[in-house]
Structure 1
Amino acid sequence: MRHEPKPLARTRARQMRADPTTPEARLWRALRDRQLAGAKFRRQVPLRGYILDFVCFEAKLIIEVDGGQHGDNTRDIHRDALFRAEGFRILRFWNDEVLEHIDDLCRHILSELRNGGE
């Protein structure tokens, strides 16, 4: 069954796609157009009351790019548990990691895609 997001979530996700943070835009340039292992990533996807930064549904892989507001965030812990219970793997990167080590992050993501998280 296909999940239909609430109109407000859909609007917010659309706004976030139109005005990404610098780290999100940089990572998107590396993920888009099936550039990593042919994986189809989508960005700013509303799902289950949350907006996912990046998700590859085929690999069940969620990637989040976080700023300081996400440190020890209980909402993020709850959200991650919800998606892990559905079989998703979650990678979280800090903004500065994306800006300073994009090649290393892409290798890590590629490894997750190829190995299924093992």
Structure 2
Amino acid sequence: MPHTPLPPRHRANARSMRKVMTSAELKLWNELRAHRLMGLGFRRQFPVAGYIVDFACPDKKLVVEVDGSQHAEAGAVAIDETRTLRLEQDGWTVLRFWNDDIIRDIDNVCQHIVIAAGLDGTS
């Protein structure tokens, strides 16, 4: 899948972000990596539309963002909305989960991801 052009410093930032994950990101990555979740192929810290998203499943055009408390601040909410709108304009579905939801209820988070990918068995 071709990437949207990304400045080299952003690509380097993505590489460094893969090395320093939050506990929630790490917990979710352990569920997503190596096609463990219903065979879905996810990438972490993946460049999409000029942004670096936390997790992306390019085959399903699905983005999963893991949000900490800083995302609840007014300025961050507006930035996240703009980012989500841009990704959706390119045909991506964006799911956002709070760190706490991932830490406390990873099974439910994974179920939402599977449903959003269209693999819930009811389609």
1:29 corresponds in structure 2 to 30
Residue matched to 1:12: 13
Q: Distance in 2 between matches of 1:91 and 1:65?
A: 9
| TM-score, normalised relative to structure 2 | 0.87
Q: What one-letter code is carried by the residue in structure 2 that aligns with 1:61? A: L
When the two chains are superposed, the root-mean-square deviation of aligned CA atoms in Å is 1.5
CA apart distance, 1:18: 0.5
Structure 1 gap ranges (5+):
none
Distance 1:109 1:2, change over 3 A: closer
**TM-score, normalised on structure 1?**
0.91
Q: How many residues align?
A: 116
Aligned-partner SS, 2:33: helix
Deviations 1:48-85 (A, max 9, x none): 33210000011010000001111251111101001111
- Identity between Structure 1 and Structure 2 (%): 41
Counterpart position of 2:108: 104
SS in 1 for 2:38: coil
Q: How does 1:1-118 map to 2 (within 5 A)?
A: 2-71=3-72, 72=74, 73-113=77-117, 114=119
Distance 1:4 1:49, change over 3 A: closer
